[in-house]
């Protein structure tokens, strides 16, 4: 039974045109996730890029990934990622046990993250695992021009907040059977806490790209 990685990389992007192939650290953005997957070949048997874009397809193939043509019906702004993943699985003839999702908008990951995550995934006999990071901010809502604290009391110190975590998007590991049921994160999913500066990167705007580039230059070997 195989473990595969899927990188969903459609062509459409409103805030950053052709975002997935914009240069980042001297390479097209999605290439960083391709190289991360290939560096973990002891875990990943096959790597697939799901795309509706010929330029993305050519780049994916030239950097060592396999490409799956995503139909237009699964490439809209509102289409969930899991539908592209399910399409990849349904296009394969071999049996797949585990699927690793690597989003191209998270180009920076700790080197050992996948190895450590997969070991936990297997040891805990998980059906899915995803990475989270603790939040240290004070949140609130504004209602009728009044600020209503959500996760703290006015005057409370930040270090005394009840721990809250956010889904950082660095990576996901899921049983293929769940993907075929349109699920990436199951109710019993293992939330792996990642305390790393890269967990704060999810490129959606030009400002996100600038910040990610700054961190890349600062932390590259």
Looking at residue 95, its pLDDT comes to: 93
User: Which domains, from first to last, does the chain contain?
Assistant: 2-135+166-219 (3.90.550.10)
Looking at residue 151, its pLDDT comes to: 87
* Distance of alpha carbon 161 from alpha carbon 154, whole angstroms: 11
* Distance of alpha carbon 162 from alpha carbon 212, whole angstroms: 29
Looking at residue 75, its pLDDT comes to: 86
Order of strands, edge to edge, in the sheet holding 190-193?
Answer: 66-69, 46-51, 2-8, 96-101, 164-175, 128-135, 190-193
175 neighbors 122 (Cβ within 8 angstroms)? no
> Computed from CA positions of residues 53, 64, 105, 86, in that sequence, does the dihedral angle turn out positive or negative?
positive
Looking at residue 219, its pLDDT comes to: 84
**Beta-strand pair 66-69/46-51:** parallel
pLDDT of the chain, 221 residues: tens digit per residue: 799 999 999 997 878 989 999 999 999 999 999 999 999 999 999 999 999 999 999 999 999 999 999 998 888 888 899 999 999 999 998 899 999 999 999 999 999 999 999 999 999 999 999 999 999 889 999 999 999 998 898 888 888 888 899 999 999 999 999 999 999 999 999 999 999 999 999 999 999 999 999 999 998 75
């Amino acid at each position: 039974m195989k473990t595969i990685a899927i990188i969903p990389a459609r062509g459409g992007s409103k805030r950053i045109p052709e975002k997935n192939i914009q240069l980042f650290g001297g390479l097209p953005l999605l290439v960083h996730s391709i190289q991360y997957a290939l560096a973990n070949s002891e875990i990943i048997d096959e790597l697939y890029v799901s795309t509706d874009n010929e330029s993305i397809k050519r780049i994916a193939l030239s950097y060592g990934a396999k490409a799956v043509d995503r139909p237009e019906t699964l490439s809209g702004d509102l289409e969930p990622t899991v539908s592209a993943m399910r399409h990849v699985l349904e296009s394969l003839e071999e049996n797949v046990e585990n699927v690793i999702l690597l989003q191209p908008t998270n180009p920076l990951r700790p080197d050992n993250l996948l190895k450590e995550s997969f070991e936990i995934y297997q040891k805990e006999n998980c059906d899915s695992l995803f990475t989270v990071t603790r939040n240290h901010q004070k949140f609130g809502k504004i209602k009728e021009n009044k600020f209503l604290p959500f996760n703290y009391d006015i005057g409370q110190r930040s270090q005394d907040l009840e721990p809250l975590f956010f889904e950082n998007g660095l990576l996901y590991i899921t049983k293929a059977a769940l993907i075929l049921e349109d699920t990436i994160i199951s109710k019993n999913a293992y939330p792996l806490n990642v305390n790393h500066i890269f967990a704060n990167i999810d490129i959606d705007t030009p400002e996100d790209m600038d910040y990610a580039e700054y961190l890349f230059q600062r932390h590259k070997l």
